Amino acid sequence: MTTTTTTGLGEAPALSPKDFNSGLKPIWCPGCGDFGVLSGLYRALSTIGRPPHEIAFISGIGCSSRIPGYTTAYGFNSVHGRALPIAQGVKLSNPDLLVIVAGGDGDGFSIGGGHVAHAVRRNTDLTYIVMDNQVYGLTKGQLSPTAPKGLKTITSPFGSLEDPINPLLYVLAYGAGFVAQSTPADMPGMTSILEEAIRYPGFAFVNIQSPCVTFGQEEQQVRAQKTHMKPLASLGHDPSDLQKALELAGHYGTELYTGVFYRNPEPPLSYDRLIRLRQDEMAKQARPRAQILDAYLQK
Ligand SMILES: Cc1ncc(C[n+]2csc(CCOP(=O)(O)OP(=O)(O)O)c2C)c(N)n1
Ligand code: SF4
């Protein structure tokens, strides 16, 4: 690192994507979409410029949930489906940390599904990245909640009978302030969406169509995605238009829209900010301990 940037706090060394690479070799299958997501995160974080020790990656269990170990930030590869509650706890106990949550569609919307609604409505300032591959990759390709109807897997040999859940509509319905979708088939677009999501001051959700090359479907692979992905910007979508965002998100599974579906133009104060304000207020009103003891003894 030879260059420096000037910040309000003085001279700080400029960061490069390499500064976020832990050097641990990912054990993902060659060609797995998660490699692209990891590389996009390195780039987005270097542009944002917060050093690794000011960042925490929290994940659950799955191939995609291995991401914390491949970064130099603090990391917790935790318990299947429990990344969001842990991440909220981390953010509340240290609001200065930049907290990023990452994992698979199974981790987020099967076992962890109940936590998503509460994380969204509580609006803690964190970024939730789901690497959506429509299967359980780590446990060898079982049906996941985002698998399309008819998908044949080892747990649905005659084709899935169920309609998939729609992660975009799910978080929009509970009031998420930032909702986007991307794919490693569009590295520049995905990197800038990750950067925007991380900078958003509240709960931000990014669904990344990250192909599983070993158990995934043919039409979900990067080459196929390149031919059918449609940037929302090319449709003239205005991300402040919630009604239109809901309508477009309804095409999940049939259209691969990329870009920002919804960005709240007037983000409310996040939960961690509200808690901090309340704590400051309580500290101002708090009586010295001696006074409390006196009041007790006088009773
Ligand atoms: C409580 C519990 N139940 C089940 C498992 C087994 N398990 C580990 S990862 C996983 C699903 C992984 O799929 P996903 O979250 O979509 O991530 P991917 O591997 O596809 O990235 C399951 C069922 C577990 N580790 N813990
Ligand atoms: S099984 Fe699928 S999701 Fe897991 S590392 Fe391999 S390609 Fe990636």
Q: Kindly give the pairing relationship between strand 127-132 and strand 98-104.
A: parallel
Could you give the CA distance from residue 119 to residue 57 in angstroms, rounded to a whole number?
16
User: What percentage of the chain reaches a pLDDT higher than 90?
Assistant: 88
Nearest Cα residue to atom 9 of ligand 1: 62
163, 253 contact by CB (below 8 A): no
Q: What is the mean pLDDT of the chain?
A: 94
Q: Averaged over 276-296, what is the pLDDT?
A: 83
Enter the CATH code of domain 4-268: 3.40.50.970
Examine the pLDDT at 91 and tell me if it is beyond 70. yes
Q: Is 112 in the pocket of ligand 1 (CB under 6 A)?
A: no
**Substitution site in 65, 107, 132, 144 for ligand 1 pocket (most atoms within 8 Å of beta carbon):** 107
- pLDDT tier, 285 (very low <50, low <70, confident <90, very high otherwise): confident
The closest ligand to the CA of 214 turns out to be 2
Strands 127-132 and 204-209: parallel
**Rounded to two decimals, what is the model's pTM?**
0.93
**Where does the chain hold its CATH 3.40.50.970 domain(s)?**
4-268
